[in-house]
Amino acid sequence: SNAHAAAGDKDAVRGSGNNNNTAKAIGDNSTALAGTYGSGSDGNVAIAYGPDTTAIAGSDGNNNDSNSAIAFGPDSQAIAARYGSDSSNNSATATNGASALAGVGGDDSDANTASATGAGSIAAAGTTTTDESDLDGFTATASGGDVVHNP
């Protein structure tokens, strides 16, 4: 089925002190990563269900804890707390070909929630491409092909 799942406390991608992470990938070309490629990231959950789905939680940074990423349905992508450190309690849910990003790209971004459904829909909450930090408590919801970015 070509599915790939890696949890930081169970696989070769483990950094030091990554504990209690869960990654499940079900479907052709699906990928789930939780608490990988960093250290001290605990309690992250990534579930990718369906073909060509991606779910990444608490990865590619240090001390990213208790983040969840759920991608459900073909071509869906959910990312919570990636490419930054010290980001916790972010939640990204994407369904039916959408993309959801929460607490991505900066440090110390906490308690952001992104939810997107439908092909082409993108929800980004507490997410930056310019390395901003301390983006906390933002919500973004997108459907019907809409793009919502908060802030």
- What is the per-residue pLDDT across 42-100, written as a single tens digit (0 to 9) for each? 999 999 999 999 999 999 999 999 999 999 999 999 999 999 999 999 999 999 999 99
- Tell me what the mean pLDDT of segment 131-150 comes to: 96
Neighbouring residues of 78: CB distance < 8 A, sequence distance ≥ 6:
46, 48, 54, 55, 56, 69, 70, 71, 92, 93, 94, 99, 100, 101, 114
For CA atoms 49, 10, 33, 67, the dihedral sign is positive
Instruction: Report the pLDDT value the prediction gives residue 30, as an integer from 0 to 100.
Output: 94
Find the distance separating the first CA and the last CA of the chain, reported in whole Å.
38
- Statement: residue 11 has pLDDT above 80: no
Helix (H/G/I), strand (E/B), else coil: 53: coil
* Cα separation, 34 vs 52, whole angstroms: 17
Instruction: Report the pLDDT value the prediction gives residue 84, as an integer from 0 to 100.
Output: 93
Alpha carbon distances (Å) from 48 to 30, 129, 136, 150: 6, 24, 25, 24
pLDDT, tens digit, for every residue of 92-123? 999 999 999 999 999 999 999 999 999 999 99
**Which candidate, 64, 145, 144, 75, places its Cα nearest to that of 105?**
64
